[in-house]
A and B are shown apart, each in its own frame.
Chain A
Amino acid sequence: MFDLSPQEWIAVQLSLRVALVATLVALPFGIAIAYVLARKNFWGKSLLDALVHLPLVLPPVVTGYLLLITLGRRAPVGGWLADHLGIVFSFRWTGAALACGVMAFPLVVRPIRLSIEAIDRRLEDASYTLGANGFWAFTTITLPLALPGIIAGAMLGFAKALGEFGATITFVSNIPGETQTISAAIYTLTQVPDGDHAAMQLVLVSIVISVAALVASEWLSRRAQARLHGG
């Protein structure tokens, strides 16, 4: 029967919260970086491009470890943030969201960058002649036309954040109720005798969430496309 323990329910809720926060926080930065990469030419552009893609090619454990030695409670940046701003990442769900956001970032940036590159810049020129400055041309023309890419980026980022394991467990460990997401909970259940049933339930839950996210993003993206090309 389907009977999740309270602790497993918490893992499900935590996963959703971590993935949602990671996606929402990564999105504005992802849009800004995607725009810069799509449109600007500057010294160090390929370096920035490589940096953005780094979490995609590094082993997740390495990314998690790098976060730990920079943002951990006793690390220079993490210590400063904790002492001066009261922001603590290590062993907190916020740290899990940060690790997931970092891991998801390249997947957020890529589709947004492609959709910005595909926009006819002459439409922006037209908006300039109609009196739009750079900010308004971006918000009224570029951003709405990039919407399908933004939806795709958010969806990929959410899916990645939901499934993130290596960087999260390295950075914030596997603390039930605080940093134990669905993936970590499944992993833990596979390590104990008689954990199979509960693990299988969590597997089903994660399949349902992923499929629901996929369907929602397909629907949103079809609506966005219809808005862009409708009659």
Chain B
Amino acid sequence: MLTVAVEKNLGAFSIDARFDSEGGVTALFGPSGAGKTSIINMIAGLMTPDSGRIAHDGVVLFDSAAGIDMKAAQRRIGTVFQDGRLFPHMSIRHNLDYGRWMGGYAKDPAAFAHAVALLDIGHLLDRRPGKLSGGERQRVAVGRALLMRPRLLLLDEPLASLDAGRKDDILPYLERLRDEAKVPMIYVSHDASEVKRIASRVVRIESGKVAAVGGSELLTA
């Protein structure tokens, strides 16, 4: 279970969010600029909260009272960014393998083949990210996060940079990921129809605060 309770003053507005997530897919849903990405960055370890506590299955990732702030590199939280952020100088294969390499794990061809098949990116392995389509790029980004053996996956608006038709191409992959990979996911989106398909549990974020927690009934804002 992921428990998040963070406060952070961002100047223009401040974040004060408390929620928890029981495995499966939890959506952080809310309008653009509500602070969803900042919350994700604090869970991933890319932004330090002013105060609060973040823990996952008994492992404390951040606790201001106890002076704990685990580095992003040690958190093992797979993160899929809105803009993919594939490494442009590496082949797709090396992008996918990067987390395993940095984590110091032995090669696991079965896991690699499974992720590649799940996301249907086998034909891209020897290419570089430069000329991939937006949808291909995001599928590789999901695969890269999955193959680092994460304790948790964060998907930050993974479809927002794609046009509507492309979104429908990617969503089935994300549904398969949810059903086949047994990794809990936090899914950030401002798009109700997208969230409805992916997530069972919804945390609605408005101006930096948790406005409501519940099921898909929260999606009709």
Most buried by A among B46, B83, B87: B87
Residue pair A132, B73 in contact (C-beta under 8 Å): yes
Residue pair B88, A145 in contact (C-beta under 8 Å): yes
Residue pair B87, A123 in contact (C-beta under 8 Å): yes
Residue pair B79, A126 in contact (C-beta under 8 Å): yes
Residue pair B85, A130 in contact (C-beta under 8 Å): no
Residue pair B89, A145 in contact (C-beta under 8 Å): yes
Contact code string B90-104 (vs A, CB < 8 Å = 1, else 0): 000000001100110
Stretch at the interface among A25-33, A55-63, A183-191, A222-230: A222-230
CA distance A206 to B79 in the complex (A): 53
Q: Check A125/B46 contact, CB under 8 A, given A130-B102, A141-B87, A145-B89.
A: yes
CA distance A127 to B76 in the complex (A): 11
Chain A proximity of B27: nearest CB distance (Å): 20
B208 within 8 A of A: no
Q: Check A128/B127 contact, CB under 8 A, given A122-B83, A228-B89.
A: no
Residue pair A136, B128 in contact (C-beta under 8 Å): no
Residue pair B73, A128 in contact (C-beta under 8 Å): yes
A129 within 8 A of B: yes
Q: Check A229/B83 contact, CB under 8 A, given A128-B45, A145-B88.
A: no
Partner of B127, one of A127, A132, A231: A231
Within 8 A of B (CB), among A120-170: 120, 122-123, 125-133, 136, 140-141, 144-145
Residue pair A131, B83 in contact (C-beta under 8 Å): no
CA distance A122 to B85 in the complex (A): 7
Residue pair A126, B85 in contact (C-beta under 8 Å): yes
Chain A proximity of B133: nearest CB distance (Å): 11
Size range of the interface on A?
20 to 34
User: Contacts of A141 on B, CB cut-off 8 Å?
Assistant: 87
B77 within 8 A of A: yes
Chain A proximity of B138: nearest CB distance (Å): 13
Partner of A228, one of B76, B83, B88, B98: B88
CA distance A120 to B89 in the complex (A): 13
Residue pair A136, B88 in contact (C-beta under 8 Å): no
Residues of B in contact, count (CB < 8 Å): 30
Partner of A231, one of B89, B98, B128, B144: B128
User: Contacts of A131 on B, CB cut-off 8 Å?
Assistant: 73-74, 76, 99, 102-103, 148
CA distance A131 to B79 in the complex (A): 11
B123 within 8 A of A: no
Residue pair B130, A129 in contact (C-beta under 8 Å): no
Residue pair A133, B73 in contact (C-beta under 8 Å): yes
Residue of B nearest to A230 (CB): B128
B135 within 8 A of A: no
Residue of A nearest to B99 (CB): A130
CA distance A136 to B99 in the complex (A): 12
Residue pair B83, A129 in contact (C-beta under 8 Å): no
B44 within 8 A of A: yes
B131 within 8 A of A: yes
Residue pair A127, B128 in contact (C-beta under 8 Å): no
CA distance A151 to B55 in the complex (A): 45
Q: Check A229/B130 contact, CB under 8 A, given A136-B102, A145-B89.
A: yes
CA distance A69 to B108 in the complex (A): 61
Partner of A127, one of B45, B98, B131: B98
Contact code string B44-63 (vs A, CB < 8 Å = 1, else 0): 11100000000000000000
Residue pair B102, A127 in contact (C-beta under 8 Å): yes
CA distance A228 to B44 in the complex (A): 27
Within 8 A of B (CB), among A36-66: none
A residues adjacent to B (C-beta < 8 A): 120, 122-123, 125-133, 136, 140-141, 144-145, 227-231
Could you list 14 further interchain pairs (A-B, Cβ under 8 angstroms) beyond the known A122-B81, A128-B72, A129-B145?
Answer: A122-B83, A125-B46, A126-B87, A127-B87, A130-B99, A130-B103, A130-B145, A131-B99, A131-B102, A131-B148, A132-B98, A132-B102, A136-B102, A231-B127
- 3 closest A-B pairs by beta carbon, nearest first, are A231-B131, A131-B102, A128-B72
7 contacts between A and B (CB under 8 A): A126-B85, A128-B72, A129-B78, A130-B78, A130-B99, A130-B102, A131-B74
